[in-house]
Amino acid sequence: MRLTKMHIAAMTLLLGAGTSPVVAQAPQRQAGGTNESYEEFRKKTRESFGSFREKAHEDYQSFRKEINQRYADWMEGKWTPSDVHDPIDIPEPEVKPVPPVVLPVKEDEPDVEPEPVEEKEIPTVVVVPEPVVLPLLEPQPQPIVPVAPPVTAPVVPMSVYYLGTTINLSPYQSWLSEGHKLSLADMPQAWTTMSDGRYEQLLAECLRERTDRNMCDWAYLCFLQTVTDRICGADTDASRLLTAYLFAQSGYKMRLGWGGGKAMMLFASDYLIYNTPYYFVGNDPERYYPFVKEKIDNVDICDIAFPEEHALSLRLDRLPIVGEEATEPRKLSSRRYSAFSLDMSVNKNMIDFFDTYPTSEINYDMMTRWGMYAQTPLTEMVAWQVEEKMRPLVADMSQLDVVKRLLNWVQTAFKYEYDEVVWGYDRAFFAEESLFYPYCDCEDRSILFSQLVRRLTDARVALILYPGHMATAVKFDSQDVKGDYITINGEKYTVCDPTFVNAGVGMTMTGMDNAQVTALVLQ
């Protein structure tokens, strides 16, 4: 449906007549620290776009340009000095990490699983009345103004290399001439220049790639930086500001900053991100993180919100589609089950992506950190190997027999080492990082084991955290499984410890008190 004069008139009323600077008309900030005129603009925009989004099919560019002009006008004089807050370190364990315990076995021991002496329930109610849960994953942010589909690709595209794959986009030029120096006073005009329509097609192409390549929020932000570096040059004001522009137009919550003589982009997240400096802006309770982990004191931050913005999520319920680069196969063999010997490869490009992922947690609950790692799906390369190499080895077996083999495989095929020794700090692994790196610890093994059990048996698995140690518990379909178990929401979860080497299903590692566990049931 074509926009009518009535539609255009309504939009003009929303945004204010003409393009004269709003700063001259806007009232001064009130005692509460807000700009009434701008807040009314946001409110009207929010109310009108519910219907406008469904009706508008043309003239997207002119409407977006008007919104961005209002945004640029309000930048004048709305920069607040902000002090940087020191990065929050990953919390040290309350107690010293517990080393693995190895049950002694004879070299000629047959393939027999040790049986627990008795079945016994270990209550968790003392410490964990309810298990920790991860919040539901919300839909990704969307542009406030509909984005026209990209036109046919050009004959000579601009190639961008991202995580092992070449992505072709239309050719674009930097909005800022090479070598031109910006100042804080230039920022409003910089935003106006970027929003004059020259990057409307680029925005459409980036959003298309976000969908086609299954990018989560973090992957999309990293992709935008790769694109803008290609257009404007790496580590330039032009690139940082273009990233901020595209990110905001895509529906994400960001703030512009100026510090250390250069432009900055700060993104908001509901997640507490470790090892990264952060800023507070005005009365906003959310932390704002510099996309580049650079600690700069006395940053001026533009305290203006873009309409309908949403904070970046760090959930990885989807993995980006990246180029395939298989690592050399690594032989991983179970000590007890000789047939369970597998050559495993991983996608090096996905390992590189995981390496950029910020360590974070939700609602100040460290269990959510491990839960996010454990609920991240396997890549296609590893999932294929699980199906083609592992599943035939457990065909027609009961859940219990499958779990026995997976448990001993994780216990004995991997080398244990403390994170502090290998990395110098506490670092959790996504499941396939344990297949790649030479060492892993208790939480890494629990994350990998939980992934394999859920995929090969469909059983529910919980991560269980002791003081200084992590293991898992499995909800078997059969109630006849013997051994230690905990009750979660009225259901029986049998203890399975991937770090209690040579131990069987239902055996609690020596020195662990199951009455003190915290549980997180994985979906």
My answer on whether 287 and 333 are in the same domain is no
Q: What is the share, in percent, of the chain residues with pLDDT greater than 90?
A: 61
Mean pLDDT is highest, among 7-11, 499-503, 510-514, for 499-503
Predicted structure pTM score: 0.86
My answer on whether 51 and 166 are in the same domain is yes
At 14, which helix (H) or strand (E)?
helix 5-15
Pairing of strands 469-475, 460-466: antiparallel
My answer on whether 380 and 428 are in the same domain is yes
Residue whose pair of structure tokens reads 């990264």 in the numeric block: 276
Banded pLDDT at 114 (limits 50, 70, 90): low
My answer on whether 447 and 351 are in the same domain is yes
My answer on whether 334 and 284 are in the same domain is no
My answer on whether 65 and 191 are in the same domain is yes
Q: Is residue 217 part of a domain?
A: yes
Pairing of strands 254-259, 330-333: unpaired
pLDDT exceeds 90 at position 107: no
My answer on whether 73 and 215 are in the same domain is yes
Strand partners, 439: 415
Answer yes or no: are the C-beta atoms of 512 and 469 closer than 8 Å.
yes
Summary mean pLDDT of the chain: 84
Among 115-124, 134-143, 145-154, 415-424, which is the least confidently predicted range? 115-124
pLDDT exceeds 50 at position 10: no
My answer on whether 433 and 511 are in the same domain is yes
Question: Who wins on pLDDT, 189 or 10?
Answer: 189
What's the pLDDT tens digit per position in 406-443?
A: 999 999 999 999 998 999 888 999 999 999 999 999 99
What's the pLDDT tens digit per position in 308-346?
A: 899 999 998 889 999 999 999 999 999 999 889 999 999
Angle of CA points 164, 347, 252, to nearest 5°: 60
CA distance 22 to 38: 9
pLDDT at 131: 62
pLDDT exceeds 60 at position 97: yes
CA distance 188 to 184: 9
Structural domain of residue 10, as residue ranges? 5-22+34-85+145-302
Q: Render the burial of 476-506: b for 16+ CB within 10 Å, e for the rest.
A: beeeebbbbbbebeeebbbbbbbbbbbbbbb
What's the pLDDT tens digit per position in 366-396?
A: 889 999 999 999 999 999 999 999 999 999 9
Structure token pair of residue 242: 């273009």
Q: Is residue 286 part of a domain?
A: yes
Q: How many domains does the chain have?
A: 2
My answer on whether 209 and 337 are in the same domain is no
pLDDT exceeds 70 at position 11: no
My answer on whether 370 and 264 are in the same domain is no
Mean pLDDT is highest, among 29-43, 118-132, 319-333, for 319-333
My answer on whether 265 and 413 are in the same domain is no
> What is the signed CA dihedral for 507, 510, 513, 519, rounded to 10 degrees?
-50
pLDDT at 426: 87
Q: Is residue 345 part of a domain?
A: yes
My answer on whether 207 and 269 are in the same domain is yes
